A and B are shown apart, each in its own frame.
Chain A
Amino acid sequence: MNNKLSKRIIPCLDIDKGRVVKGKSFINLVDAGDPSELSKHYNNEGADELVFLDITASHEQRKAIIDVVEKVSSEVFIPLTVGGGIRNLDNISELLLAGADKVSINTSAIENPEFIKKSSSKFGSQCIVVAIDAKKTDESWNVYTYGGRKDTGINVIEWAKKANEYGAGEILLTSMDMDGNKEGYDLDLLNRVSNEVNIPVIASGGAGSMQHIHDALVAGNSDAVLAASIFHFEELTIQQVKKFLNSKGVSVRL
């Protein structure tokens, strides 16, 4: 008997003008830059959800992400989260209508916390993910916005609690210090936030090995892990990670 939900493994795809950027060494895919191809690949490997981060800079080309969601959701039947550049309720509505199940909001939530309230009461908490980019200070962590360029001076723990209160359904917590290092997630940060909120926390930033993922879920007390490069470059497959977790007694969907 199992009383808890399985821990989720979530690959993250960075999308620029409708194309996957960063990852691309897949041998078996005809076109690894095609979000749809890559999504199908991850679905078949056992991904529990997919996150698309739209990094398209220009507003004119924002429609590309809608097309991506539209296409992927016709072929892949697992929850899809879309983040990047979401400013208002219309942006959310558009993405949900295209087939997204959740949206992730970051800068717009910090600049206007009421946006969390409004969006969660309109669309339901289950589809509002608040993404937090955290960077270490002497004693704690500060929230950064604009893709990690601006220090808001706001304390991460306090902000996570507030986002929870305002109706966020999940927290996507990225450690800017660990991101890209492949030296493991910031377990201290994950634990602090997980203990302060009663919504799921998705760990992000620092995955370099299966043990790191295990640590984020067990020692870090998080509910899910997000990873990009280790999957994109096929250093590890999702199946491998899940089998490892299962062998260590962590509940995963195999």
Chain B
Amino acid sequence: MSSKTLTLGIINHRYANIHSVKKALEYINCNYTELNNPSEFNKVSAIILPGVGAFDAAMQVLNDSGMSDALLEANNRKAPIFGICLGMQLLFNKSEEGKKNGLGLIDGEVKKIKQINDLKIPHMGWNETYFPKKSNKFKNVKNKSFFYYVHSYECVPSDENIITSYTYYGNKICSSIEYKNIFATQFHPEKSGNDGIKIYQNFINYLKI
């Protein structure tokens, strides 16, 4: 895939901070297009699924618009997919937050963060993040860097081996996964300062390989 033909699509499901994601991409001079309906998915070679808000509400928009199916098709043709926060959770089979099925691209569940002692839920703020594996998505990001989180539910993949970073909030929490063409972070790289911008840059660089 040459950089000339690369087009990045951002799914706009109305439950997303699509605005901050766009600004982060503009900051690193990456062209993108917004995806509002399934017919637009053929134009793009990689997809960002952002998200803030509730699981069912976002799934409803994706299903009603036909974008769920379009995303599954894109996955079949191995288009790189980048899920962020709720966008990561939507990739799983189901969530304790809602009744609807998730996209099922990642085997596992999304569970309510266990409230231990006086821990405040949502888990909101900067938390130290551990990167146990080498990954081209985290190039130039130091182990134990801080990233910005805002969430009340956590992803629990069936296969622990796909976890590429984690943090601690009461229990160990999965911060990111990588599985085939899919990459997803629970934290918000677009709100995590200079380290977060590096992750966007790394994702874009990886697409151009």
- The answer for the CA separation of A2 and B123 in the assembled complex, in Å, is 13
> Contact at B53–A74, with CB atoms within 8 Å?
no
> Contact at B169–A200, with CB atoms within 8 Å?
no
Closest Cβ of chain A to B95, distance in Å, is 17
Q: Can you report 7 A-B residue pairs in the complex whose CB atoms are below 8 A from each other?
A: A5-B123, A48-B126, A77-B23, A77-B190, A77-B194, A79-B191, A253-B146
- A44: chain B residues at CB < 8 Å are 194
Interface string of B166-192 (1 = CB under 8 A from A): 001110000000000000000000111
For this complex, into which size category does the number of interface residues on chain B fall? 20 to 34
- The answer for the CA separation of A253 and B191 in the assembled complex, in Å, is 14
Q: In the complex where A5-B127, A6-B126, A126-B122 touch, is A77 in contact with B53 (Cβ < 8 A)?
A: no
> Contact at A79–B148, with CB atoms within 8 Å?
yes
- A1: chain B residues at CB < 8 Å are 168
- The answer for the CA separation of A79 and B193 in the assembled complex, in Å, is 9
- B66: chain A residues at CB < 8 Å are none
> Contact at B127–A199, with CB atoms within 8 Å?
no
Q: In the complex where A3-B170, A6-B146, A126-B150 touch, is A77 in contact with B126 (Cβ < 8 A)?
A: no
Chain A residues within 8 Å of chain B by Cβ, number: 28
- A67: chain B residues at CB < 8 Å are none
Q: Closest A-chain residue to B54, C-beta based? A: A124
Q: Is A169 positioned at the interface, with any CB of B under 8 Å from its CB?
A: yes
Q: Closest A-chain residue to B122, C-beta based? A: A126
Name the contact of A200 in the complex, choosing from B17, B26, B120, B150 (C-beta under 8 A). B120
Q: Is A241 positioned at the interface, with any CB of B under 8 Å from its CB?
A: no
- A251: chain B residues at CB < 8 Å are 128
- B127: chain A residues at CB < 8 Å are 2, 5-6
Interface string of B104-148 (1 = CB under 8 A from A): 000000000000001110111111100000000000000000101
- A73: chain B residues at CB < 8 Å are 19-20, 23
> Contact at B125–A75, with CB atoms within 8 Å?
no
Interface string of B142-172 (1 = CB under 8 A from A): 0000101010000000000000000011100
- The answer for the CA separation of A148 and B115 in the assembled complex, in Å, is 37
Name the contact of B197 in the complex, choosing from A2, A77, A125, A223 (C-beta under 8 A). A77
Q: In the complex where A77-B197, A198-B120 touch, is A5 in contact with B125 (Cβ < 8 A)?
A: yes
> Contact at A77–B191, with CB atoms within 8 Å?
yes
Name the contact of B118 in the complex, choosing from A97, A101, A198 (C-beta under 8 A). A198
> Contact at B125–A99, with CB atoms within 8 Å?
no
- A200: chain B residues at CB < 8 Å are 120, 124-125
- The answer for the CA separation of A34 and B13 in the assembled complex, in Å, is 34
Q: Is B196 positioned at the interface, with any CB of A under 8 Å from its CB?
A: yes
> Contact at B120–A77, with CB atoms within 8 Å?
no
> Given contacts A5-B124, A8-B125, A223-B125, could you give 11 more A-B pairs where the C-beta distance is less than 8 Å?
A3-B169, A73-B20, A75-B27, A77-B20, A77-B23, A77-B24, A78-B193, A79-B191, A99-B19, A126-B122, A169-B124
